[in-house]
Amino acid sequence: MPGSNIPKRSLKKPQIRKKKLSPMNPVSLEINNQYNRLESPEAATIALFEAIMESGKFPIGAGELSIAFVDDATIAAVHGDFMDDPTPTDVITFPADTTMESAGEIIVSVDHAQVRAAELGEPFSRELSLYLIHGWLHLAGYDDRNEDDRYKMRAAEKVALELLRTSEKVPEYYLQNHA
Residues contributing to the annotated binding site for Zn(2+): 134, 138, 144
DSSP letters, 102-152, are EEEEEEEEHHHHHHHHHHHT--HHHHHHHHHHHHHHHHTT---SSHHHHHH
User: CA–CA separation, 18 vs 34, rounded Å?
Assistant: 15
Q: Output the CA angle 43-49-50, nearest 5 degrees.
A: 85
Annotated binding-site residue numbers: 134, 138, 144
The distance of Cα 94 from the centroid of its chain, to the nearest Å, equals 10
